[in-house]
Amino acid sequence: MSIRWSLVIPVKTLVAAKTRLAAATGPHRTALAVAVAGDTLSAALASAPVARVIVVTADPAAAGPLAELGAVVVPDPDRGLNTALRAGAAHAVRLAPGDAIGALQADLPALRAAELATVLEAAAEFDQSFVPDALDIGTTFYGVRPGLPFTPRFGGESRARHLAGGAKELTLEGIESVRRDVDTPDDLRAAIALGLGPRTAEVVRRLRLSDA
């Protein structure tokens, strides 16, 4: 029987989200952050190995729309990203102690369910594993097999910290959408080239219309 996964997605308070995109997105920045998180969540829920997605957030403006899309929403303890992830993981263990637990960044607007499934199937072979971001500096996914300690090391140069912590780096072909997080205008252009989810695509369309 294949391993099932609970995924934890942290969503920042929207006023703090995507600040590096502020100049490019103007009044649409908050809408973009919600859209990107929504597309990430929808793709994750559509991925075959995923049993549930737990969103950790302190922002009701994000919590409502993401709950409507099918997320289990839990409050952010507001003590940093990794603490938020551990809070989500603890809730996942209470819901389904026999499932593997993964942390997934919320800013993957081109995420494909099949590519995430490829990652999760590979991750099921290792006690702990991770996927580096497109720049090979950060991390977009970290996961552990059922019953094992969940010790995420996100933030900054997290690829090096996950390696140092003994996690297996998953270097797989054909998972570009899992690695393409979006923090800057260049990142967004790269995600557009991969193909955006529908919510993000609509906000980008509005951005282009406002620039015209």
CB 140 within 8 A of CB 178: yes
Q: Give the residue carrying structure tokens 């809408």.
A: 31
Rounded Cα distance, 27 and 168, in Å: 40
Spatial distance between the Cα atoms of 140 and 179, rounded to a whole number of angstroms: 6
Q: Which of 8, 5, 14, 58 is nearest to 36 (CA)?
A: 14
DSSP state of 109: T
The answer to whether the annotation marks 177 as part of a ligand binding site is: no
158 labelled ligand-binding:
yes
Residue 143, strand partner residues: 102, 129
Residues in the annotated binding site for phosphoenolpyruvate: 139, 155, 158
Q: Which residues are annotated as a binding site?
A: 139, 155, 158
